[in-house]
Amino acid sequence: MGNALGTDLCPPAADDLSTSETDTALRLAPDGSGGVEWAAGGGGGTTFVGLTDTPSAFTSDENQLVGVNATPDALEHKTLTKVITASGALFLDPTLDAVVIGEAGVGNVGTASGTDVVVIGDNAGSAMTTMNQSVVIGADAAQNVTADFDAVFIGFNAGGVGTGTGAQYNTAVGFNALRGVAATALGQANTCLGAGAGESIAASSANTLVGAFAGEDVSTGSNNTVVGYNSAGGAVNLTTGSRNVVVGSFTDTPAVGSNDFIVIGDMSGSNLGSRIVVDPADDNVYMGSGTPGGYGTSTGNHNTAIGDAAATTLTTASQTTFVGAQAGAAGNHSDANTGIGYRALEGIGAVSMGQSNVAVGANAMRSNQGGNSNTAVGAGSAVGLSSGAQNVFIGESAGNQAVSVTSGSRNIVVGSTSLASATHNDVIVIKVDTGLGSNGQQIVVDPNVDGVFMGGASAGNWPTVSGVNNTSIGDASGIALTSGAGNTFIGADAGATETTGSTNTCIGVGADVPGAGTSNHVNLAGILFGDASGLDVRIGGSGAVSQAERLAVTDTNADTVEVFSLETTGTNGAKARFYVGTQAPGGTITAEPGSIYIRVAGTSSGVYNNTGASSGTTWTQL
């Protein structure tokens, strides 16, 4: 064994010990020359209470700690309520369930009251006097709060600047979270999670701010919900507004004092990110990417824009509704426009798109450049309309078939059809099939040619027919008409062969002109024919009517024809007939007394009268 302290403190090997030493506990003992050596054990205390400078018993000292006495020259059992040093504090109070660790932590620890408190960190909670059910962790956290309960402050300087009493129900987690403003109360029931979240709050309450620097400038506004990195901290920075919901990085309200807004979406970078905006101040609703591009600076009200890039150019217009990707996306907006569908009422460049227009359907009225009060319903309807006004287009590609209407006004087009000219006005076209000039059912009122056409393929060459003042009503009536004018065809297939003739009147199924190019012909149900230019009339027969038939009745199936009859009515009514024929009178030709028969053939030609007393065959030549 060595003879100097620290020279050799290793226990001796077993073969260096005597038999008695191997059975005895070893101890360090002076070696007589200023050193120590291992020696056989023996003597001394074997229990904690057996020592001379410790408590003498455990009785009645349960749940107590061991600490240095006040002298200080021994250990004792004691109820430890605080231990304070110049460099820090350890405060453990099992009665109050309080734990305080840190330099100057709870500066009033000697007089502070409350229960269920944990304070950890340099200067954390250093001004507190009354605290209950609270957790403060982090250097300088809640250092100026004098009283709180049910609060949590975690992070460097969390709640570290704001002051006041009653900072209850606050939760702040993160560097500078709910930091507050000097000499101003923190408010109550705020939840701030993230570095810098709610760091400027001053006496406002019930805010929920989640994300690094979320709502960092909110000061007196209350009841706000802000989620996202730097949310409500973009170009505007919400400060005094209340009851807002803001979600997304750099997403913000349009003004520092906005109230009741809902703004959802990432507005970083180009500021055209996807978004949902409910603007109660101006009654606007925006949903989609970049809708509208002027959000935050636009001054219009009662607007609704839903869809990718919908109404991106909206600035001052009001009472507009755009639903669909790129609906109303390009032109300068005016009031009371409605565009529903992909690129509906999109507009062009910096040109005004007019006002009070309604466009429903993909590409409907896409090119409007100043036209007002138009209605277009159907995909591609009025797609080329620019400056026309007060038009109605209903149907797929209505107003955009072979002719694309551009500047015409006061037109009504129903069906997949269009007008005769891009600039015509006051035309009514209702067509049930596709294409111009097709044989579909149609109703056309065209004041540009003063024409009315109704029926399947009526005036089938409309709208290329050049004749004016034509009326064609009935299936296939006037179907071949081109340049003829002043014609009236009523009935299925009426005037079906006419092309260039004029001033014809054909009424009845199949009532037609004698041939293409005929003019002034009259055909009433295939019974009464006439030549309107000479007042020539024929009943029956076929072909054109000549002057020799100024009043003619023709029956190609009989030798004798009853031209007309005269009859009176009443108690003493009488009737007489007038005949023309080639037969001899008598036989089957019977008539009332006084009837006249003119025989026009044979040796017995002449005028005969029925002289019988009653109806019969007694004919007398006059």
Q: Judge contact between 473 and 454, C-beta under 8 A.
A: yes
* Banded pLDDT at 7 (limits 50, 70, 90): very low
CA–CA separation, 285 vs 342, rounded Å?
Answer: 18
Is 10 in contact with 36 (CB distance < 8 Å)?
no
What pLDDT shows up at residue 169?
Answer: 92
Distance CA 179, CA 97 (A): 27
As a whole number of angstroms, the distance between CA 267 and CA 274 comes to 7
d(CA 74, CA 49): 12
Lowest-confidence segment of 34-48, 424-438, 462-476, 594-608 by average pLDDT: 34-48
pLDDT confidence of 532, banded at 50, 70, 90? confident
What does the block give as tokens for 233?
A: 């901290």
- The whole-number average pLDDT for the span 574-596 is 73
| Most confident residue range from 175-184, 291-300, 454-463, 561-570 | 175-184
pLDDT score at 562: 62
Q: Which of 10-14, 49-53, 435-439 is least confident?
A: 435-439
The backbone torsions φ and ψ at residue 48, rounded to the nearest 5 degrees and listed phi first, read: -65, -45
- Among 267-276, 280-289, 489-498, where is mean pLDDT lowest? 267-276
pLDDT of residue 3: 39
Q: How confident is the model at residue 171 (pLDDT cuts 50, 70, 90)?
A: very high
Could you tell me if 310 and 324 are in contact, meaning their C-beta atoms sit under 8 angstroms apart? yes
DSSP assignment letter at 64: P
8 Å CB contact between 391 and 407:
no
Q: Which residue has the tokens 């209605």?
A: 375
Tell me what the mean pLDDT of segment 504-526 comes to: 91
pLDDT at 256 over 50: yes
DSSP string, 94-111: TTTTEEEESTTSSTTTTT
Q: Nearest-5° angle of CA 125, CA 127, CA 133? A: 50
Task: Give the residue-averaged pLDDT of 192-199.
Answer: 96
pLDDT over 80 (residue 454): yes
**pLDDT at 223 (0 to 100):** 97
Q: Phi then psi for 74, rounded to 5 degrees?
A: -165, 170
Contact (CB, 8 A) for 203 and 163? no
Between 28-37, 104-113, 571-580, the lowest mean confidence (pLDDT) is in: 104-113
* pLDDT surpasses 90 at 273: no
Share of the chain above pLDDT 90, in %: 29
pLDDT of residue 244 exceeding 90: yes
Sequence-distant (6+) residues with CB within 8 A of 377 are 358, 359, 360, 361, 364, 393, 394, 395, 398
In this structure, what are the phi and psi dihedrals at residue 39, rounded to the nearest 5 degrees? -135, 165
Helix (H) or strand (E) run with residue 22 in it: helix 19-22
In DSSP terms, 522 is beta-bridged to 505, 530
Residue 237 has pLDDT above 90, yes or no: no
What average pLDDT does this structure show over 566-575?
60
Which range, of 4-18, 202-216, 260-274, 439-453, averages the lowest pLDDT?
A: 4-18
Interval 320-330 mean pLDDT: 92
Task: Please report where in the chains the tokens 């002298």 appear, as a residue.
Answer: 71
Q: What's the pLDDT band for 184 if we cut at 50, 70, 90?
A: confident
Q: Which two tokens stand for residue 16?
A: 């260096």
Task: State mean pLDDT over 118-129.
Answer: 84
- Assigned token pair, 610: 């029925």
HSE (CB half, 13 Å, CA atoms) of 339?
40
Q: Which of 14-18, 350-354, 356-360, 422-426 has the lowest mean pLDDT?
A: 14-18
Q: Residue 572: which pLDDT band, with cuts at 50, 70 and 90?
A: low
Examine the pLDDT at 8 and tell me if it is beyond 70.
no
Instruction: Find tokens 């999670």 and name the residue.
Output: 193
Task: Give dist(CA 241, CA 246) in Å, integer.
Answer: 12
- Residue 436 scores a pLDDT above 50: no
How far from chain centre, in Å, is Cα 614?
A: 89
Residue 6 is predicted with a pLDDT of 45
Q: What is the number of residues in the chain?
A: 622
Q: Please tell me the number of Cα atoms within 13 Å of 377 on its side-chain side.
A: 7
Task: Measure the CA angle with vertex 440, ends 437 and 444; round to 5°.
Answer: 70
At 580 the pLDDT is: 78
pLDDT recorded at residue 595: 80
Rounded CA-CA distance 125/140 in Å is 7
Instruction: Indicate the DSSP class of residue 547.
Output: G
How far is the C-alpha of 129 from the C-alpha of 107, rounded, in Å?
9
> Which positions ≥6 away from 504 have C-beta within 8 Å?
484, 487, 488, 489, 495, 498, 513, 518, 519, 520, 521, 522, 523
Residue 125 scores a pLDDT above 70: yes
Q: Write down the pLDDT at residue 11.
A: 59
Contact in structure between 164 and 182 (CB atoms under 8 Å): no
Flag whether pLDDT at 414 surpasses 80: yes
Averaged pLDDT, 368-385:
91
Choice among 88-97, 199-208, 537-546, 596-605 with the minimum mean pLDDT: 88-97
CB atoms within 10 A of CB 32: 8
| 306 bridge partner residues | 287, 323
How does residue 156 score in pLDDT terms, banded at 50, 70 and 90?
very high
pLDDT value at residue 12: 60
The candidate with the shortest Cα–Cα distance to 440, out of 454, 422, 423, 421, is 454
- Which pLDDT belongs to residue 194? 96
| Three-class DSSP category at 52 | coil
The 3-state DSSP class for residue 49 equals: helix
pLDDT value for 1: 39
Is the model's pLDDT at 204 over the cut of 80? yes
**Whole-structure pTM value:** 0.71
Mean pLDDT of 239-264: 91
